[in-house]
């Protein structure tokens, strides 16, 4: 009887033990971050003007990115003019992305500080979150605009080759979408 009672107690306790084991937060360890909302990789990407996947809508719909076009300049048979223009597009995008990245980091630091010092209220929270959202939108625009500029610079054949070289299934379009014409260089 004693063994049976012990078995019942163990069986009743198992769900509680399982629940306790799964109640750990996926955020464990992140409380030690300098800025809680940003990983080290996020910070590095913002400081370096990295894409962070912000231009996937363009990249995966046949709008090449300037950095990758530069990396693939030889197999894409870029002309000297295209290469120079691509470098200019990349440099302008990166410069603005770094500027915006620094502003986003500063605002995230401020947000973190407000919570850490318990100085946050609904008004300061709304203001700060709106500013961070605007900066993130501006950053995404900068990256997407660079892809848009590249689409205008490359021929349909180069875009198709780019898609293939980047490993995108289905290849690229070979004709310009309605209302758009590609310049040849």
Sorted by where each begins, the domain ranges of the chain are 39-166
Which own/partner pairs from 137-144 qualify as long-range (CB within 8 Å, at least 24 positions apart)?
138/100, 139/54, 139/97, 139/100, 139/101, 139/104, 140/54, 140/55, 142/93, 142/96, 142/97, 142/100, 143/51, 143/54, 143/55, 143/58, 143/65, 143/93, 143/97, 144/54, 144/55, 144/57, 144/58
> Tokens standing for 21?
């084991």
pLDDT of residue 112: 96
pLDDT of residue 28: 87
pLDDT in single tens digits along all 185 residues of the chain: 667 656 665 556 656 555 555 668 888 888 878 898 999 999 999 999 999 999 999 999 999 999 999 999 999 999 999 999 999 999 999 999 999 999 999 999 999 999 999 999 999 999 999 999 999 999 999 999 999 999 999 999 999 999 999 999 764 444 444 334 333 33
pLDDT of residue 152: 97
**What is the spatial distance between Cα 151 and Cα 153, in angstroms, rounded to a whole number?**
5
pLDDT of residue 159: 97
pLDDT of residue 179: 38
Work out whether the CA dihedral 54, 94, 77, 151 comes out positive or negative: positive
Whether the CB-CB separation of 100 and 131 falls below 8 Å is answered with no
pTM metric for this prediction: 0.78
pLDDT of residue 13: 61
Output the CATH code of domain 39-166: 1.20.120
Residues 6+ apart with CB under 8 A from 51: 45, 65, 67, 143
Q: Within 13 Å and on the Cβ side, how many CA atoms surround 105?
A: 19
**What is the spatial distance between Cα 113 and Cα 98, in angstroms, rounded to a whole number?**
22
Whether the CB-CB separation of 92 and 67 falls below 8 Å is answered with no
Give the DSSP letter string of 138-172.
HHHHHHHHHHHHHHHHS-HHHHHHHHHHHT-TT--
> Tokens standing for 109?
């630091």
């Amino acid at each position: 009887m004693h063994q049976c009672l012990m078995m019942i107690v163990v069986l009743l306790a198992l769900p509680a033990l399982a629940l306790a084991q799964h109640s750990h937060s996926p955020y464990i360890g992140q409380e030690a971050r300098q800025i809680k909302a940003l990983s080290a990789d996020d910070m590095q990407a913002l400081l370096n003007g990295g894409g962070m996947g912000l231009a996937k809508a363009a990249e995966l719909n046949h709008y090449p990115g300037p950095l990758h076009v530069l990396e693939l300049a030889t197999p894409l048979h870029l002309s000297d003019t295209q290469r120079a223009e691509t470098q200019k597009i990349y440099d302008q995008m990166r410069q603005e992305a770094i500027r915006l990245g620094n502003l986003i980091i500063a605002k995230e630091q401020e947000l973190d500080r407000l919570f850490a010092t318990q100085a946050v209220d609904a008004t300061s929270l709304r203001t700060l979150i709106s500013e961070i959202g605007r900066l993130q939108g501006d950053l995404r625009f900068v990256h997407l605009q660079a892809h848009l500029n590249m689409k205008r610079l490359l021929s349909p054949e180069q875009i198709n080759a780019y898609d293939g070289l980047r490993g995108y299934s289905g290849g690229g379009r070979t004709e310009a979408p309605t209302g758009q014409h590609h310049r040849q260089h």
